[in-house]
Structure 1
Amino acid sequence: MYDQPRPNPAHHAMTFDQMLERVRYEGAYPTRERAAEAIRTVLAALGRQLTGDERVDLAQCLPVEAALTLTAQIPDTQHLTGWGFIKDLAAHTGLSPAVARWDTGAVLSVVTRLAGPDLLTRILHQLPDGYALLFGQAELRRARRS
């Protein structure tokens, strides 16, 4: 299974430097290194949850360095809720859940803009409940698929 990002010349995504600056601004991080660490840990955690076309399409929207972090992860067989995602991120990084939640919000707010509304809707339909808030969206109740 090779889901490496494919270049899409029609899409003018931001550079990794631009993404880094946006995340640094969103998260009010004191250094670029701290913002880069947040990008790496949050995208790695998201890469453990996201599969299929949504994973590939999101990777195409991200700067190459960010896309490689996302796609280098082997998806978990257990899909975590939004809160489970935060607890998992905290466990992987040694951060408190509050800091993990802050990092997630800072990174995913930028990812939301890069993905656009259509892809974001597809991503949120794939993931369990609780992710819309992490992406800065209203949490919509949806009927359980059987």
Structure 2
Amino acid sequence: MSMRQEAFLTHVQERGEYRTSHEADRATRVVLALLGAHLAGAVRAELAARLPETYALILLNPLQAAEPLSPERFVRATAAWIDGATEKTALWDIGAVLSTAAAAAGDALTREVLLQLPPGYDLLFGHPQAT
């Protein structure tokens, strides 16, 4: 595992309060695979360039989405891909992964990413919020 990957995962693990890095890695893979299907062109390539290689490849070879998912459906899709997840835990997973990706991307690129996504995704890029 590269240093960058380890550092990225540590952030996800802390933000998501995961017990193990394996749980953090699983969430990261699912969320980035779903996100990648929503991004195109230079924005996707640039975001991938800011991620550790393992995760960059997942973003660039995403699960194909037939159509852009609304934030609510993105949460449901994430829950469906993670064993034992609920919409509530999926929301937490998404916040942990996307807030870490946004930190890696920086504000300007994160704004460009959000422009390619349906309305409401800005909330998913925030830190996980305990409800």
- Whether the TM-score (by the shorter chain) exceeds 0.5 is yes
Identity between Structure 1 and Structure 2 (%): 40
Superposition map of 1:30-109 within 5 A: 30-94=19-83, 95-109=85-99
Question: Which of 130, 138, 146 is the matching residue for 2:120?
Answer: 130
Counterpart residue number, 2:8: 19
Please, which runs of 5 or more residues in structure 1 have no aligned partner?
A: 1-13, 138-146
Residue of structure 1 in register with 2:101 after alignment: 111
Equivalent position amino acid for 2:62 in 1 = Q
Question: Partner amino acid for 1:17?
Answer: E
Q: What's the offset of the Cα at 1:49?
A: 1.6
Distance in 2 between the 1:72 and 1:124 partners? 19
> What is the distance in 2 between the residues matched to 1:88 and 1:111?
19
**Distance in 2 of aligned mates of 1:84 and 1:124:** 16
1:50 and 1:75 in contact (8 A); partners too: no
Tell me which amino acid in the other structure corresponds to 1:86: V
TM-score, scaled relative to structure 1 = 0.79
**CA offset at residue 84 of structure 1?**
1.4
TM-superposed CA distance for 1:74, in Å, is 4.8
Instruction: Give the ranges of 4+ consecutive aligned residues of structure 1 lying more than 6 Å apart after TM superposition.
Output: none
Which has the greater radius of gyration? 1
Return 5+ residue gaps in structure 2 as ranges. none
Distance 1:85 1:110 in 2: 17
After TM superposition, the structure 1 stretch with the greater mean CA deviation from structure 2, 103-112 or 81-90, is: 81-90
Q: Deviation at 1:77? A: 3.5
Q: Aligned equivalents of 1:74 and 1:98: distance in 2?
A: 22
Structure 1 residue 103: deviation in Å? 0.3
